[in-house]
Structure 1
Amino acid sequence: MSSPLSLFVTGTDTEIGKTLVSCALLRGFANAGLAAAAMKPVAAGAEFNAEDGMWHNEDADQLDAAAGVLLPPEVRTPYLLQAPAAPHIVAAQEGRTLEIAPIVQCHREAMQRADVVVVEGVGGFRVPLDGTRDTADLAVALGLPVVLVVGVRLGCINHALLTADAVAARGLRLAGWVANIVDPAMRFADENVQTIREWLAREHGAPLLGTVPHLAPPSAQVAAEHLNIDALLHALRSNTL
């Protein structure tokens, strides 16, 4: 039996489709015959559901809906914060400390339950967890290859290249990237995607895994049809981190 796979999904910013792409990856892995689980280790923004007596985060719920293997909520999201704001600020207000070690332990448990585990970050690649550590440190602690979601809108080339450089600076491998069209009215969107494709391939050896068109409403299943899951699986299986 092959060893379980895992990846860390980050983005060029917040609200650029990380959750949509993470859900699409989960659906794609399921289509490839793999039992896929999802983690959203830190989630900011929760509402209480009186029916089940639990706090819910919309992104985490979407991941659960797309996953083939459901993790216990405390494993899927070790840190569920109530206010939809910067996690380290909300955690301080709630009297909590965002520790990396418990997340790593939850990830180990998740890896025992699934063939592949998709770990979705929060915000961009360097979102603070406290005064000295950020989500890049979390990705390093997990030791996972990274998939970068690029929100295709004005400024995306700069954001994509800077984020890819930040990933490499932490000694992590960029397994690939996904272009997500968040601004359907953007001029020269195809040309922007092609520029990013050339630069990330040349500087980081990172392939374009697919371009997700603007979807209204968003659909993980439709988005999955635009991703090259076989190419990603090849990259993950050849990971040398």
Structure 2
Amino acid sequence: MKKRFFVTGTNTDAGKTYVTVGLLKAAQRAGARALGLKPVAAGAEWREGVLRNDDGLRIHAANSVKLPYEQVNPVVLEEAIAPHIAASHEGRLVTASRLQGYIQGALLTPHDFALVEGAGGWRVPLNDRELLSDVAKSLHFPVILVVDMRLGCLNHAILTAEAIVADGLTIAGWIANSGQDRMPCFEENVATLSSLFLAPLLGVLPWSQDEKEAESVFDALYSTL
């Protein structure tokens, strides 16, 4: 049975790609055919004549199911700004249906475990009428919510969780991602969110850990999905 999830965060740089790559590698260690996608990314550099996004490259490298980069990250926008604005500056129109088509096409490749990573937070605009959450709704995958544990995260996390549920989707679980400067009352904030969320806490990610410790954490996270 295939396991497929949409990965979102409370904000930009919440740790979505770190979680996506960690889970993809954990799936590989468990013997699963793992496939990660980053359908739209804003913020890229020209490399050998083509635009490449760092997050897209990291996900592409972590996949055990090998696809061309263009299928892993089909929409690459150069400016590191809101996707709909970056697309407008390039004279492009990004639509939910087009992104859905790219994703569904890539998911035709045989796999056991798939992650589709969003951009920014849940309500990121794609154009004047559509949001990235519309893509998640069309896929109807359970959602993994990455919470950036910093001052203000309670409001961001609660509102994001409410929006996901209001869109008719299931939250598979949430992950507490600690920043470099551990927030005051870290444990109390995690406990608060745990008491308010119906979804389970999948795990807590410390900022500093060696590779083996990180693998152990993600192996445990993967086993809960």
**Would the TM-score normalized by the shorter structure come out above 0.5?**
yes
Displacement, 1:65? 2.0
- 1:131 pairs with 2:128: yes
Name the amino acid aligned to 2:203.
G
Name the amino acid aligned to 1:65.
A
The equivalent residue for 1:7 is 5
Deviations 1:139-166 (A, max 9, x none): 0011111000001111111111110000
Determine which of 200, 203, 206 is the counterpart of 1:210.
Answer: 203
Residue 163 to residue 39, structure 1, CA distance change in 2 (3 Å): same
**Which deviates the most, 192-201 or 82-91?**
192-201
How far apart are the structure 1 equivalents of 2:72 and 2:54?
Answer: 13
Displacement, 1:198? 1.6
The equivalent residue for 1:98 is 94
Determine which of 114, 137, 151 is the counterpart of 2:148.
Answer: 151
- 1:142 pairs with 2:133: no
The equivalent residue for 2:216 is 225
The equivalent residue for 2:41 is 43
The equivalent residue for 1:176 is 173
TM-score under structure 1 length normalisation: 0.87
**Which deviates the most, 145-154 or 70-79?**
70-79
How far apart are the structure 1 equivalents of 2:33 and 2:106?
Answer: 11
Aligned-residue CA RMSD (Å): 1.7
Tell me, yes or no, if the aligned pair for 1:42 and 1:79 is still in contact at 8 Å: yes
Deviations 1:79-100 (A, max 9, x none): 1101110000010110111122
In structure 2, the residue corresponding to 1:226 is in which secondary structure? helix
- Count matched residues: 222
In structure 1, the residue corresponding to 2:217 is in which secondary structure? coil
Give % identity. Answer: 42
Tell me, yes or no, if the aligned pair for 1:38 and 1:71 is still in contact at 8 Å: no
TM-score under structure 2 length normalisation: 0.93
The equivalent residue for 1:119 is 116
* Structure 2 unmatched ranges of 5 or more: none
Deviations 1:160-197 (A, max 9, x none): 11100000010011010111001433111111111111
* Structure 1 unmatched ranges of 5 or more: 233-241
The equivalent residue for 2:183 is 186
- 1:167 pairs with 2:158: no
Residue 73 to residue 230, structure 1, CA distance change in 2 (3 Å): same
Deviations 1:201-229 (A, max 9, x none): 3xxxx111110001379x6x743422421
Displacement, 1:126? 0.3
Tell me, yes or no, if the aligned pair for 1:148 and 1:178 is still in contact at 8 Å: yes
Q: Give the alignment of 1:61-100 within 5 angstroms.
A: 61-100=57-96
Tell me, yes or no, if the aligned pair for 2:42 and 2:82 is still in contact at 8 Å: yes
